[in-house]
Structure 1
Amino acid sequence: MPFAEHPLEETNPLTAQFNSFKRVQTPSTGRTLARWLGGLFVLLFLAGFLPWTQNIRSTGRLTTLRPQDRPQTVPSTIAGRIQQWRVREGQQVKKGDTLVEIAEIKEKYFDPELLQRTREQLEAKIAALEENRGKTAALGIQQEALRQGLSVSLDKARNKVAQTRLKVNSDEAELRAANNDFDIARQQLQRQEALYQQGLKSLTELEQRRLKFQESTAKRQAVENKLGASRQELVNAQLELSSLQAEYQDKLAKSESDRRSAVAYQFDSEGQIAKLRNELANLSIRSGYYHITAPQDGYVVRALKEGLGEIVKEGEAVVTVMPNTPALAAELYVQPMDIPLLSVGRKVRLQFDGWPALVFSGWPGTSFGTFGGRVAVIDNIDSQGQYRILVTPDPGLEPWPKPLRVGSGVYGWALLDDVPIWYELWRQLNGFPPNFVGLPTDSGKGGKEAKKADKTADSGGEEEAK
């Protein structure tokens, strides 16, 4: 194989006299490789000054920003037996549509006419209460009549006592007159007997005087008896006056006792009526729980109970319903050391499972198949050593794909500050955290941009909430 001779070999007298030096030379391939390596080193050196966007990588899944948009299980409020299914898995339903019909399993509610019979009991109790109120009113009228009768009877008894007292006074005056007549008749008898002893009066006149004396004695005795009777009548009238008040007081006490018993029964009836109304309302509400309805518009994801006749406990989940148009959000988990670098409104790039993407994490503008978002929520407590953040779509960028489903995987990276590539490599090799420049708490251009991003995110969150 021929070799090209080096030009210096012709001019060098020392090597010209040896034929071996004429046949040995430095190959051109080495010089070419050196030139390529030198150029590559220059390119890498220059590339080290290119801008690189620092980022925080994290993984998570798709969820919803509002709790009512998340998949929810529809429980059975009461215990029952599945009687009929009205839906199938994957079926679209509207709010209030019947999902499952259940039948009663408690013997207390087996009667199909229980609601009507409870209503009849309530009406009967209300009627009894009205009659009892009438009885209470009648007893009140009776007491008023007894009080009026007592007043009239007392006036009558007092008048009788006064009349009897006047009669006693009259009898006492009559007795005094009878005693005077008796004294006069006795004195006349004594004078008549003295005159008869002297022979001045006849025996006939003496006997006539004795007869008058006997009459005055009998008259005095009669007046005394009449006075005694009048006094007894006065005592009886006074006793009757005293007993009359006690008699009417007994009647009033008995009437008051009956009235209080009626009032107590009235209060008891009112309590039973309230209890029956409560029971009737509970039965009416319970009758509506025999149909398990959809809490909102959506579609049936899964039936948690199968078949007919299966027993469902109180509060046990029956089906799972997913809302139609949930407000999607990416649920990402970041390390505690990266949390101070994040703030609400910070931009995030997202890659969804099932969507092809070509990702350059440091050059988000050149990445393909990724979607933009902003940090909406940052948890204040950790979850198994990591902190959760919620990322919502960025209203100023392309919308997220509509076929996305809740629960699919997400890979995201929060965009921080722009630094040279050599600085990022040096930071990664030394394990240093990203820069703090650009946070809302810092001054300068980066801080202003972050504050502006926060305000934009807040206004977007308010519009989303509205």
Structure 2
Amino acid sequence: MLNISKNSVNKNVDLSGYRSPEKVFHKRHYKHFNRFLLIFSLVALVVLFLPWTQNVTGTGFLTTLTPDQRPQTIQSPIPGRIEKWYVREGDFVERGDTILFISEVKNEYFDPNLVERTGQQIRAKSSAVASYEGKVKALQNQIGALISERKLKLEQARNKLLQSKLKVQSDSIDLEAAKTNIKIAQRQYDRTEQLEKEGLKAVTDVEEKRLKLQETQAKLISQQNKLLTAKNEVINAEVEINRIQAEYTDKISKAQSDMYTAQSNQFDSEAQVTKLENEFTNYEMRNSLYYIRAPQSGYINKALQGGIGETFKEGDALVGIMPAKYDMAVETFVEPLDLPLIHLGEKVRIQFDGWPAIIFSGWPNVSYGTYGGEVVAIETFISDNGKYRVLLAPDPDDHPWPKDIRVGSGANTIALLEDVPIWYELWRQLNGFPPNYYQPEDSKMAKTDKK
């Protein structure tokens, strides 16, 4: 029957008397099958010329449009020990509500009166600052008094110096007068002695003139002594001025040194007060951190640290929270080969996990159960999975997304490109070629306007 052997059975055996050969070798079946093949070929040929929309598919998951709306964990900025929980998983909390209370684990903060004692230290140091300020003012007044006294003393010494100089001038004049007198007395004595030798004057006259000459010489010597004494007084006056300047310079310098020391202590105390105030504020802030509060309104997802008395480090996640108000978005990933085909503002079709859909990626008009999306962000750096991240927001021109979808569920995306014949798409797929380089209509119109 299968004609495997070269010996034909139908030549040696008459098969016309059997029912089976009649049904198998009936030519009517060949006719129907040939018609079917012809019609199928015509339909396949027509289908090859039907339009097919090229597309870029991607997989991703639901997320939120802005980072502050995404699920987050609440951390404690300080280490501590869990003392009391105020919420349970699934509870709704408003912003600022207390979630749990923790206690201190570092020994330097064990003192319950740490804030009050720090405040007492601040007040004590502030009093020390006030005392140093008073001491500085007193020393400044003392320096001012010493400067005024030095000025008066110097004026007095300068006046005395001026008097001594005037006395030197007076004594110098008197000395010159004495020198003149002794010259006159010497001439009178010589003249009288000459007259006495000639017999014109008596010896008594000569003795009187000699006596007068000696008196004049004595006055000259006395006047020289007065002049030297006056000069010594000038020197003494100058020395006194230098002494006064040195004395008061020393006193003023000592007072200034004490003032600078007081100012240094004042500044040091002010720095300590500032440091204590900083510590005081830090202690107050640390006390407020013992109560872990909700950063925004939302639902408590999961307690990451459980129990009572459990310790944790700073920065450890304590509890997860999901914001109550958020705008849904889809985070999808595309191949690097398809990234140049994605543009901001383009429309994308989305199929959510758990929602029934019939999808024909190349025939979006006959697809069912897909929702519209719009590209709002394209990542410029490749992700860890070797693809580029694209963020999609709901399309305002399409019907709204389902209300019951949740953040984190999966989604499949289809970005529609140009329309091509099916035969061209099959040829491209068989050869592994990328889709046609696609630009949105807005970009094409902008280029046309520039030309």
Work out whether the TM-score is over 0.5: yes
Residue 310 of structure 1 aligns with an amino acid whose one-letter code is E
The secondary structure found in structure 2 opposite 1:121 is helix
Q: 1:409/1:235 Cα in 2 relative to 1: closer, same or farther (>3 Å)?
A: closer
Residue 423 of structure 2 aligns with an amino acid whose one-letter code is W
Pair 1:37 & 2:37 matched? yes
Deviation, structure 1 residue 378 = 2.2
Measured in 2, the distance between the counterparts of 1:290 and 1:442 equals 56
User: TM-score if structure 1 supplies the norm length?
Assistant: 0.72
Deviation, structure 1 residue 315 = 1.6
1:103-118 equivalences in 2 (<5 Å):
103-118=103-118
Measured in 2, the distance between the counterparts of 1:156 and 1:450 equals 97
The secondary structure found in structure 2 opposite 1:74 is strand
1:46-85 equivalences in 2 (<5 Å):
46-85=46-85
Is this contact kept in 1: 2:71–2:320, CA < 8 A? yes
The residue number in structure 2 matching 1:402 is 403
1:24-423 equivalences in 2 (<5 Å):
26-157=26-157, 242-383=242-383, 384-423=385-424
The residue number in structure 1 matching 2:5 is none
Q: 1:161/1:56 Cα in 2 relative to 1: closer, same or farther (>3 Å)?
A: closer
The secondary structure found in structure 2 opposite 1:59 is strand
Q: 1:160/1:434 Cα in 2 relative to 1: closer, same or farther (>3 Å)?
A: closer
CA RMSD across the alignment: 4.1
Residue 393 of structure 1 aligns with an amino acid whose one-letter code is P
Q: 1:326/1:166 Cα in 2 relative to 1: closer, same or farther (>3 Å)?
A: closer
Measured in 2, the distance between the counterparts of 1:424 and 1:237 equals 119
Is this contact kept in 2: 1:57–1:412, CA < 8 A? yes
Deviation, structure 1 residue 450 = 13
Q: How many residues align?
A: 398
The residue number in structure 1 matching 2:10 is none
Residue 427 of structure 1 aligns with an amino acid whose one-letter code is R
Q: 1:164/1:394 Cα in 2 relative to 1: closer, same or farther (>3 Å)?
A: closer
The residue number in structure 1 matching 2:432 is 431
Which stretch has the larger CA shift, 41-50 or 135-144? 41-50
Measured in 2, the distance between the counterparts of 1:450 and 1:362 equals 28
Deviation, structure 1 residue 56 = 2.0
The secondary structure found in structure 2 opposite 1:350 is strand
Measured in 1, the distance between the counterparts of 2:419 and 2:157 equals 118
The residue number in structure 1 matching 2:8 is none
- Structure 2, unaligned stretches of length 5 or more? 1-15, 183-214
Deviation, structure 1 residue 49 = 3.0
Measured in 2, the distance between the counterparts of 1:326 and 1:45 equals 50
Is this contact kept in 1: 2:304–2:319, CA < 8 A? yes
Q: 1:394/1:144 Cα in 2 relative to 1: closer, same or farther (>3 Å)?
A: same
Measured in 2, the distance between the counterparts of 1:411 and 1:450 equals 33
Is this contact kept in 1: 2:346–2:440, CA < 8 A? no
Identity of aligned residues (%): 48
TM-superposition CA deviations, 1:391-450 (whole Å, max 9, x none): 2211111111122112111122211222333333333333333233x523899xxx5599
Residue 409 of structure 1 aligns with an amino acid whose one-letter code is G
The secondary structure found in structure 2 opposite 1:38 is helix
The secondary structure found in structure 2 opposite 1:374 is strand
The secondary structure found in structure 2 opposite 1:102 is strand
Q: 1:266/1:49 Cα in 2 relative to 1: closer, same or farther (>3 Å)?
A: same
Measured in 2, the distance between the counterparts of 1:281 and 1:237 equals 64
Is this contact kept in 1: 2:154–2:241, CA < 8 A? yes
TM-superposition CA deviations, 1:245-276 (whole Å, max 9, x none): 33333222221211111122222222222222
1:2-13 equivalences in 2 (<5 Å):
none
Q: 1:37/1:163 Cα in 2 relative to 1: closer, same or farther (>3 Å)?
A: closer
The secondary structure found in structure 2 opposite 1:61 is strand
Measured in 1, the distance between the counterparts of 2:419 and 2:164 equals 127
Measured in 1, the distance between the counterparts of 2:226 and 2:435 equals 132
Measured in 2, the distance between the counterparts of 1:94 and 1:424 equals 54
Measured in 1, the distance between the counterparts of 2:367 and 2:39 equals 27
- Structure 1, unaligned stretches of length 5 or more? 1-19, 181-215, 452-466
Which stretch has the larger CA shift, 62-71 or 35-44? 35-44
Residue 66 of structure 1 aligns with an amino acid whose one-letter code is T
